[in-house]
Structure 1
Amino acid sequence: MTRRGILALCLLLAGVTHAAPVRVVDDAGLTLELARTPQRIVSLTPHLTELLFAVGAGEQLVGVDSASDFPEAARGLPRVGDYSRVSFERILALKPDLVLVWLGGNRPVDIHGLKAMKLPLLHTRAAKLDDVARLLRLLGRASGHPVQGERAAQQFAQRLAVLEERYASRRPIPVFYQVWDRPLMTVGGGHWISEALTVCGARNVFADLAALSPVVSREAVLTRGPEVIVSGSDAPAVRSQWERYAELPAARTGAFLRIDADRLHRPSPRLLDGVVQLCEAIAPYGR
């Protein structure tokens, strides 16, 4: 076959891929059916943007939320709003053939508005560490990159298994993870950060709470006596808030830690980088 013939065949195959229909069931239990692979995708959360790049669909993105800053290529994409409000006008102007939303993250009123405009929506959820691998597979299929999605999912699962084995024998040191100070917020047992603490050989002192991000009292924290207090880098420093409580085990040893929030707070492939940082920071206190 001549070079021209090979090139024509490659273009034909590429066209077939782009024209391939899409049929997936999303996390709301709804079936998304598209006549062809989406080529103009809008992502409304940073982790969904990262996941799309991870499965090879970055070039199909035409718009993102204002916090989508990774990878570098995402920074140059048009902005369509933030967690507090999306711009329907900007989204419509981009003529998307698929919009990705996060149930529990994006406002219900915004999701309802997008649905009312008859835009194709893929509803997603993320609460557990395993959800990252599952979403890589889902977004891979929805964007026309099932092989890349499966490969990325397997890599994530394998790396997570290695971390679980590495810290499996450690003493479950009690940890308070402070999300914010006013109001005082933490993570419940169903949150991926609570799971991350378990992976690290630690124990979330509020793992018994059902809410993903419950508000707790200062008295409750003191009663549960964490030996380590951790916060994300996007929250106020915890040392100044807790070091005056001499009855608190963490205060007596100065066990106050800060973790990169861009990694640990986003359910994307980089989440495991945040888990590694968390485990390494906690390790000296759990011997």
Structure 2
Amino acid sequence: MPHFRIRPLLLTCVLALGLPAQAAVTVIDDARRSVTLPAPARRIVSLAPHATEMLFAAGAGAYIVGVTEFSDYPPEAKRIQSVGSGVSLDLERIIQLKPDLIVGWNNGMAAGQLAKLETLGIPIYKSEPYDFPAIAHSLERLARLAGTDATGQAAAMAFRQRWKKLQDTYQRRRSVTVFYQIWRSPLMTLNGSHLVSSALRLCGGENIFARLPQLAPTVSEEAVIKADPEAIVASSGEQDDVFAPWRRFPGLKAVAGGNLISIDGNLMNRAGPRILDGTEDLCRKLDAVRAKRPTR
């Protein structure tokens, strides 16, 4: 048999047996880079908790062989082998896992190590969604890379529908000025480009530090006092009694009005599908702030 007829014959057999032909898949990641796999990924390493959550939501959870610290949702993620943290990756362990795809955090502190992995020829999808549409697109793109398109598309559709419902409910609410605290010492917040600010805007919240150039800037107590926000929002679990330092300033609108709002950081600060749970909670709590205003 001539050698040039072998491949067509094999393809004919594959089709006749009903076996799926493996084809290359290509997507664009959040760093606007093209990521191509010769076939859907079957050994995935996730280097951020939000990426782990999105992979599971996209139907690719069964293919994750390594995760980083704090990848604790869904519960199945806790049973997956750890490959380090967002600060320090265990490169040797990652290589031993022989991943055919790594989903990495584009702005993580381990960016240099991520670059080393890239030099080894391992395909890397950089994940850093900055708004709600990007999360839906990420679900679709990660599902595409894992060959779980139907699951990813369904998850993206459900996410978009719920997001729109929240928009329709809260988009005309009166504005509430907000200081969003992510850490106390040093005092840190998030600027207007961060996904959390998208959640604030959806709820009718106005981030008092939205115009700062850094994504997660350090600010001073004096700057917060000068801006005098109507509400202060902080992640629960950040520190014990995170609002205690602010109670030293009873003249602050947020303190005087009792508008010191605790929010689940695992929901709000992770750029995954559960951010809508955090956003819905935030919207309800900002509505409570509005309800305290004197009627005119």
Same fold per superposition (TM over 0.5)? yes
Distance between the aligned counterparts of 1:271 and 1:167, measured in 2? 16
Q: Secondary structure at the match of 1:185?
A: coil
Q: Secondary structure at the match of 1:219?
A: helix
Distance between the aligned counterparts of 1:139 and 1:56, measured in 2? 9
**1:39, 1:60 within 8 Å by CA — same for their partners in 2?**
yes
5 Å-filtered alignment, 1:1-287, equals 16=20, 19-236=22-239, 237-287=241-291
Question: What is the identity, as a one-letter code, of the residue corresponding to 1:120?
Answer: P
Distance between the aligned counterparts of 1:128 and 1:234, measured in 2? 24
Using structure 2 for the length normalisation, give the TM-score.
Answer: 0.88
Question: What is the identity, as a one-letter code, of the residue corresponding to 2:188?
Answer: M
Q: Secondary structure at the match of 2:135?
A: helix
Q: Secondary structure at the match of 1:243?
A: helix
Higher deviation after alignment, 175-184 or 23-32: 23-32
| Deviation sequence 1:84-105 (CA, Å, 0-9, x none) | 1000111111111111111112
Q: How far is 1:133 from its partner?
A: 0.7
Q: Secondary structure at the match of 1:184?
A: coil
Distance between the aligned counterparts of 2:213 and 2:134, measured in 1? 18
Q: How far is 1:106 from its partner?
A: 4.8
Q: How far is 1:273 from its partner?
A: 0.4
**2:40, 2:146 within 8 Å by CA — same for their partners in 1?**
yes
**2:181, 2:233 within 8 Å by CA — same for their partners in 1?**
yes
The runs of 5 or more residues in structure 1 that have no matched partner are 1-8
Question: What is the identity, as a one-letter code, of the residue corresponding to 1:199?
Answer: L
Question: What is the identity, as a one-letter code, of the residue corresponding to 1:102?
Answer: W
Percent of residue pairs bearing the same amino acid type: 39
Q: How far is 1:164 from its partner?
A: 1.2
Runs of 4+ in 1 over 6 A off after TM superposition: none
Q: CA 1:198/1:30 → structure 2, altered by over 3 Å: closer, same or farther?
A: closer
Q: CA 1:106/1:55 → structure 2, altered by over 3 Å: closer, same or farther?
A: farther
Number of residue pairs matched by the alignment: 276
Distance between the aligned counterparts of 1:250 and 1:27, measured in 2? 36
Using structure 1 for the length normalisation, give the TM-score.
Answer: 0.91
Question: What is the identity, as a one-letter code, of the residue corresponding to 1:76?
Answer: R
Distance between the aligned counterparts of 2:50 and 2:29, measured in 1? 16
| Deviation sequence 1:60-107 (CA, Å, 0-9, x none) | 111111211111111111100101100011111111111111111252
Distance between the aligned counterparts of 2:215 and 2:153, measured in 1? 28
**1:232, 1:260 within 8 Å by CA — same for their partners in 2?**
yes
Q: How far is 1:33 from its partner?
A: 2.1
Distance between the aligned counterparts of 1:238 and 1:32, measured in 2? 41
**1:243, 1:254 within 8 Å by CA — same for their partners in 2?**
no
**1:229, 1:238 within 8 Å by CA — same for their partners in 2?**
no
Q: How far is 1:179 from its partner?
A: 0.6
Higher deviation after alignment, 210-219 or 39-48: 210-219
Distance between the aligned counterparts of 2:290 and 2:97, measured in 1? 51
Distance between the aligned counterparts of 1:16 and 1:250, measured in 2? 59
Distance between the aligned counterparts of 2:212 and 2:280, measured in 1? 25
| Deviation sequence 1:183-237 (CA, Å, 0-9, x none) | 1101111111111111112211112223221111111100111111110013123
